[in-house]
Amino acid sequence: MTTLTPVQASPPTTAPVELDLDARMALTLAEMDGRCTTAVMAVDINSAHIAVEIPEITAPVPLTPTLAPSPYSTPIAGLLHRARNRIEADGWCTGALRDEQGARCLIGAIRIEASSRGQADDACVLLLDAIRRDFPTAETVPSWNDNQRDPRLPARYLDRAAQLAHARNL
């Protein structure tokens, strides 16, 4: 007699599921979130003993602009450069040597910076010479100064006169 042994059925084999791009991205994102959370917790635990001192914050010292140093070695050129700096610092005016706020005209700036009346006169003559190169009808420095609208042109001619004085070694 022959006995038959029952044949065991093999479990059904399933083909691996093929995931689309969105599913793979979602799984990767979940795995990365877990890793990042673990890393953040490790940093928190490893750095918990470090005492952090917050430095005192103070406002910086405000810087005040400084006037340009004189590039000229001759006395009249240096005087004209200082007069230009004076107008930049104190302001420029017309109609008077000095106004109520302290602003000065060209002659007033030259006189306040000059070491003598003769040096101021020499600087004014040179300034008028520089002005007359471009404005031949200018009669005097004060009349030319009073005809200007803003300090840009007077400051420019103080620079030109300083360059002229330097070229003439005055």
* Residue 122 exposure: Cα atoms within 13 Å on the Cβ side: 19
> What pTM was computed for the model?
0.61
73, pLDDT greater than 60: yes
pLDDT at 53: 76
**Count of C-beta atoms within a 10 Å radius of residue 142:** 18
pLDDT digits (tens, 9 = 90+) for 2-25: 666 665 666 667 777 788 999 899
User: C-alpha distances in angstroms, 79 versus 56, 73, 88, 155?
Assistant: 46, 10, 14, 13
User: C-alpha distances in angstroms, 108 versus 12, 95, 121, 142?
Assistant: 109, 11, 12, 10
pLDDT digits (tens, 9 = 90+) for 102-148: 999 999 999 999 999 999 999 999 999 999 999 999 999 999 999 99
pLDDT at 58: 75
- The chain-wide mean pLDDT, for the chain, equals 87
